[in-house]
């Protein structure tokens, strides 16, 4: 299970049936859950907690110190859920004191090669990050979102759930849930209808979300006017309430 040329710190805690490949380094204050596979040439530093049944491929750096000039060696953390696939050369950083001290990554997700998740990010479950997708510090990404290759999200921005971002999209503002988005800078191109249907959204809910999208992006109303107009629809459909609540709480403004 543990290759003789792997280096495991005595203070690391490995669960049952954990495999560690040749030349990998597992540092102190690292916890790895049952059934996880750590490939060759992987570095995991702590404090970091990795859940069960994860697969981490070669040359990834997990739980390293944040890339923040204010960081002064404080004991911050990285927490990763279960059943993730983290491909080659990914870099996931620990948090900073100023951002709450923890970077969190959910479960059941695919992170392709060279993905970077910076300090203090919050990433939901069942996401897909294609090659070279990059999150700056303090970014939040909702569940089941898909980030295309070379996507870049500016620090403190939020990406809603069920969003699909096209290749090389760059965003400096918040991206509401359920959208199809592309461009530098990011522009909305309608709802992620195919994704919503695959995930079991009803036809009525999708139709209501289309109406909500038109009110915000196609009616010529201000954002505040659109939100007021959508109050009855938000009361009737929880999905629309998620959409409008996200916009209402967007601290950086939304893409337009």
Residues designated catalytic:
119-120, 137
Contact 19, 37 (CB under 8 A): yes
Write out the two tokens for 177.
């849930």
Assigned token pair, 20: 């560690």
The alpha-helical segments, DSSP class H, found in the chain are 193-198, 203-217, 223-229, 231-236, 238-248
Spatial CA neighbour of 115 closest among 144, 153, 89: 89
Contact assessment for residue 168 and residue 185, using Cβ atoms and an 8 Å cutoff: no
3-state helix, strand, coil in the chain (%, to 5): 20, 30, 55
223 burial level (CB within 10 Å; 0-12, 13-18, 19+) = middle
Q: Closest by alpha carbon to 164, among 184, 201, 189?
A: 189
Cis-peptide into 235, omega within 30 deg: no
Where b means 16+ CB within 10 Å and e means fewer, 78-110 reads bbbbbbbbbbbbbbbbbbbebbebbbbbbbbbb
Question: Strand 19-20 vs strand 37-38: parallel, antiparallel, or unpaired?
Answer: parallel
């Amino acid at each position: 299970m543990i290759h003789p040329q792997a280096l495991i710190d005595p203070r690391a805690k490995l669960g049952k049936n954990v495999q560690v490949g040749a030349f990998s380094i597992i540092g102190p204050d690292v916890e790895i859950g049952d059934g996880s596979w750590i490939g060759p040439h992987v570095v995991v530093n702590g404090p970091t907690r990795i859940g069960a049944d994860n697969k981490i491929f070669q040359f990834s750096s997990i739980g390293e110190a944040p890339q923040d000039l204010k960081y002064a060696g404080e004991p911050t953390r990285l927490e990763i859920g279960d059943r993730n696939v983290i491909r080659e050369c990914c870099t996931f950083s620990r948090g900073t004191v100023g951002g709450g001290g923890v970077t969190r990554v959910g479960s059941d997700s695919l992170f392709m090669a060279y993905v970077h998740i910076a300090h203090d990010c919050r990433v939901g479950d069942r996401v897909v990050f294609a090659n070279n997708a990059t999150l700056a510090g303090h970014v939040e990404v909702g569940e089941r979102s898909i980030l295309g290759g070379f996507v870049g999200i500016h620090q403190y921005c939020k990406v809603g759930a069920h969003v699909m971002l096209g290749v090389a999209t760059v965003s400096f503002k918040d991206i509401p849930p359920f959208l199809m988005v592309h461009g530098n800078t990011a522009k909305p191109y309608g709802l992620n209808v195919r994704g919503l249907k695959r995930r079991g959204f009803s036809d009525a809910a999708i139709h209501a979300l289309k109406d909500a999208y038109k009110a915000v992006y196609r009616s010529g109303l201000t954002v505040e006017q659109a939100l007021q107009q959508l109050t009855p629809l938000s009361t009737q459909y929880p999905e629309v309430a998620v959409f409008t609540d996200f916009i209402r709480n967007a601290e950086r403004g939304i893409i337009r």
